[in-house]
């Protein structure tokens, strides 16, 4: 243990020569003192890099960090101070992470738009205190989800609006093709092989082979390429698939043409960009009991 004490003393000498007024001074006299100091130092590995890289603290502001750190540690069991420090911590998370994340989620890379920090904080404080609330928590959650989807779709439409226009033109051209039939939700299909088996319900687990393509012919997914049919429940896929499968007798092979609103809509999925109309060759092999 003598080596530990010697090491700590060496570090202490360097510390004393460069300490600031807000930096606590070590007083190492026993092995427990050395243990305490060495553990304290070991716990800071990577902390400075985190403060600079993630929190955005400049290296010239480390003294202020130490000042706040000492104040929080020395608060002990003071609940009032604990509440205050928790507010500071969460406030920093809102400012540095949550608002930035929300802006990116809703507006993408459009830096000219932002959520309202004033109204965000008004809602946040109302939610915490229960005072002056403009809506219930359930109403707030439902509204937030709905409006986020609507605003995000508007933002994506600015970027991927051409996909929507091209997809609509593609589906219109398919609708005018001889031999094409239409389902109730706007999905079109062409029968390549007419099956004579049972028609699945939306809760049925089915076994299929399929190949999906974009309107330019790009294949984005194919069970044929994997040489392995796939199984799933009819109601666990995109709406256009559910609609098609619940009208297909087992043994059928259809070409299915799905408008973007019955596919992934504003979502991006691998090679599938937002607002993409899709084409699938679907072979219904069976229904699993």
The third-level CATH classification (topology) of the domain covering 165-288 is: Chitinase A; domain 3 (3.10.50)
- With 80 as the cut, is the pLDDT of residue 16 above it? no
Burial 103-123 (b: 16+ CB within 10 A, else e): beebbeeeeeeebeeeeeeeb
Mean pLDDT confidence for 165-194: 95
Taking 3-state DSSP, the helix, strand and coil percentages for the chain, each rounded to the nearest 5, stand at 50, 15, 30
CA distance 73 to 116: 34
CA distance 176 to 278: 17
What pTM was estimated for this model as a whole? Answer: 0.61
Condensed to tens digits (0 to 9), the pLDDT of residues 222-231 reads 999 999 999 9
How many CA atoms are closer than 13 Å to the CA of 230, on its beta-carbon side? 15
Neighbouring CB atoms inside 10 A of 139's CB total 11
Mean pLDDT confidence for 239-247: 97
Percent of the chain with pLDDT over 90: 47
Condensed to tens digits (0 to 9), the pLDDT of residues 124-137 reads 988 988 888 898 99
CA distance 260 to 275: 5
What is the model's pLDDT at position 123?
92
Tokens, residue 238:
């995109």
Mean pLDDT confidence for 261-279: 93
Residues designated as active site:
210, 220-221, 238, 264, 280
Tokens, residue 89:
């911590």
Cβ atoms of 240 and 258 closer than 8 Å: yes
Mean pLDDT confidence for 80-94: 88
Tokens, residue 72:
């929080």
- With 50 as the cut, is the pLDDT of residue 3 above it? no
Q: Where are the domains of the chain?
A: 165-288
Confidence band for 266, pLDDT divided at 50, 70 and 90: confident
Cβ atoms of 106 and 120 closer than 8 Å: no
How many CA atoms are closer than 13 Å to the CA of 135, on its beta-carbon side? 11
Mean pLDDT confidence for 161-179: 94
């Amino acid at each position: 243990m003598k080596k530990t004490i010697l090491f700590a003393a060496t570090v202490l000498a360097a510390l004393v020569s460069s300490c600031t007024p807000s930096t606590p001074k070590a007083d190492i006299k026993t092995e427990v003192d050395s243990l305490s100091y060495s553990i304290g130092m070991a716990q800071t590995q990577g902390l400075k890099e985190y403060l600079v890289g993630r929190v955005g603290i400049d290296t010239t502001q480390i003294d202020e960090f130490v000042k706040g750190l000492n104040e929080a540690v020395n608060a002990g069991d003071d609940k009032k101070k604990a509440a205050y420090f928790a507010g500071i911590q969460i406030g920093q998370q809102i400012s540095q992470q949550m608002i930035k994340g929300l802006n990116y989620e809703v507006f993408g890379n459009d830096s000219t738009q932002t959520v309202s920090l004033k109204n965000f904080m008004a809602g946040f404080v109302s939610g915490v205190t229960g005072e002056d609330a403009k809506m219930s928590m359930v109403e707030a959650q439902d509204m937030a989800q709905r409006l986020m989807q609507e605003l995000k779709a508007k933002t994506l439409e600015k970027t991927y609006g051409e996909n929507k226009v091209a997809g609509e033109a593609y589906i219109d051209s398919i609708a005018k093709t001889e031999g094409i039939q239409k389902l109730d939700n706007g999905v079109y299909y062409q029968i390549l092989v007419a099956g004579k088996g049972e028609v699945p319900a939306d809760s049925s687990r089915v076994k299929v082979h399929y190949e999906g393509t974009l309107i330019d012919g790009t294949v984005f997914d194919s069970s044929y390429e994997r040489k392995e049919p796939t199984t799933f429940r009819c109601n666990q896929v995109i709406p256009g698939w559910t609609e098609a499968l619940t009208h297909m007798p087992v043994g059928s092979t259809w070409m299915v043409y799905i408008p973007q609103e019955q596919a992934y809509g504003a979502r991006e999925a691998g090679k599938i960009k937002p607002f993409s109309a899709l084409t699938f060759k679907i072979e219904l092999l069976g229904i699993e009991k």
